[in-house]
A and B are shown apart, each in its own frame.
Chain A
Amino acid sequence: MALSKKTKEAFLGPLNVNNPILVQILGICSALAVTVQLKPALVMGISVTIIVALSNVVVSLIRNSIPARIRIIIQLVVVAALVTIVSEVLKAFAYDVAMQLSVYLGLIITNCILMGRLEAFAMSNNVVDSLLDGLGNGFGYAWILVVVAFVRELFGAGTLLGYQIIPQSWYVANGGFYENCGMMLMPAMALILVGCIIWAHRAINDKEAK
């Protein structure tokens, strides 16, 4: 099955040239909050991907029947209902994960990427394109989170996914030369890292455009 250019663009665009965090600067707040460690960042990335894809599909299905004046409220109801269902299902089948994510899950409702995609894409495109757009934006969001969390956990705590990476013998406390960078654990550092990624991203893409 050959995909049209537009369909491909819906999925691939948000991964790079139209990335929700790097280019549209959306969803920054949660990128700061959940990137101290790799694990919550991964789970948050997956949760957002699932919810943005599903809500894109639902809104796209009913897009022609939604009254224009209350469309934002309808979108919000769809997102809120999906987030509630996902959190209930997690509590029933993956209690530990649900406890870890408690606040972040609720925060997905207010993630600007969701409302942005629903309003800008799902309201005017068919179901398949909307699904791909949702998946693309979810992954585009997730990989930035993972990169930022990777750097912050590695240099802030010397671990990855909770496993010690920097050898214990390197630490000053054990007679070595190394000390964890406490700055990495501060929210400000996430903003600085995202800034660095945006810088590199623009530099590379501008060169290609020329």
Chain B
Amino acid sequence: MKLNTNSNVYTIVYATVMVIIVAVLLAVVNQGLKSRQDANRRLDVQKQILTALNVDYSKADPAALYEEYVKEDEWDGKPVYYATIDGANYTVLPLKGQGLWGGIWGFIALEDDLNTVYGINFGHESETPGLGGEIVTEKFRSRFFGKHIKDGEGNLRSIAVLKEGKRAEEGQEQVDAWAGATITSTGVNDMLANSLSAYADFLNQIPAAGVEELLNDNEEEE
């Protein structure tokens, strides 16, 4: 008997069976690979935090290094990471924002005065390769090293990301934007401002160890 492949019944049954097969297949693949994917995702975050802390993990096991250096904590329901590397303490905060084509994110590592940037790391979903995508490079990240997120009076000001030649407001430190990636650079600027201000109360508690350093820093600048 030859099936009539053009009948309504055949079409509906075919579509139903097809959908069920595909759904089961995708569900099996998804569940089967889930644990590996979650592990990868966790490892990826750990690597990003290590990069923000300027730790080279290319020759060692990143998970073990992370375990050794970083402690995870919470402040007001938001994640905070503390790290101790060679006796120095750092605080790592997550950043989240919007680039040109999709989300951008990162981690910023502050020295124990909660003011000086020790390291920073960026990631992006889909910025243009060669332009906005370059924010992940050492060349861009290193522009932030040593900058301060607070002004002389200790008010949180974030760091401005501006086109070459432009000047930030009084009291705010700045870095050069990536040439040709205006919208991504503005996204990084806004991401820093928004993400840091979400931690404003956290950052304003000047840790005992940092006070002296802060005062010294200001005297030097004046």
Contact = CB atoms under 8 A, between A and B. Distances in A.
Contacts of B19: 77
Given A81-B25, A103-B101, A70 B11 contact: yes
A93 interface: yes
B5 interface: yes
A89 B33 contact: yes
A58 to B, nearest CB: 11
Contacts of B15: 67, 70, 73-74
Given A40-B129, A68-B6, A88-B30, A182 B37 contact: no
Contact of A84 (B6, B10, B18, B26): B26
A196 interface: no
Contacts of A91: 33, 37, 40
Contact of A182 (B5, B11, B41, B180): B180
Contact of B14 (A34, A70, A85, A157): A70
Contacts of A84: 26, 29
A67 B6 contact: yes
B129 A102 contact: no
A185 interface: yes
A103 B101 CA distance: 10
B56 interface: no
A153 interface: yes
A157 B180 CA distance: 12
Nearest to B5: A67
A103 B37 contact: no
B37 A92 contact: yes
B130 A103 contact: no
A40 B25 CA distance: 28
A156 interface: yes
B168 interface: no
A185 B22 CA distance: 40
A95 interface: yes
A156 B130 contact: yes
Interface string A53-95: 0000000000011111110011001000100110011011101
A17 to B, nearest CB: 32
B89 interface: no
A99 interface: yes
A37 B130 CA distance: 7
B40 A36 contact: no
B36 A93 contact: yes
A156 B129 CA distance: 11
Interface in B80-126: 101-102, 125-126
B131 interface: yes
Nearest to B19: A77
Interface in A126-159: 153, 156-157
B101 A36 contact: no
Interface string B38-67: 001101100000000000000000000000
A67 B22 contact: no
B204 interface: no
Contacts of B130: 36-37, 153, 156-157, 185
Given A40-B129, A77-B22, A185-B131, 19 more contacts: A36-B129, A37-B129, A65-B14, A67-B5, A67-B10, A67-B11, A70-B15, A73-B15, A74-B18, A81-B25, A85-B25, A91-B37, A92-B37, A93-B36, A95-B41, A95-B43, A102-B125, A103-B102, A185-B128
25 contacts: A36-B128, A36-B130, A37-B130, A64-B5, A66-B5, A67-B10, A67-B11, A67-B14, A70-B14, A70-B15, A73-B15, A74-B14, A77-B18, A77-B19, A85-B29, A88-B30, A95-B41, A99-B44, A102-B125, A102-B126, A103-B102, A103-B126, A153-B130, A182-B180, A185-B131
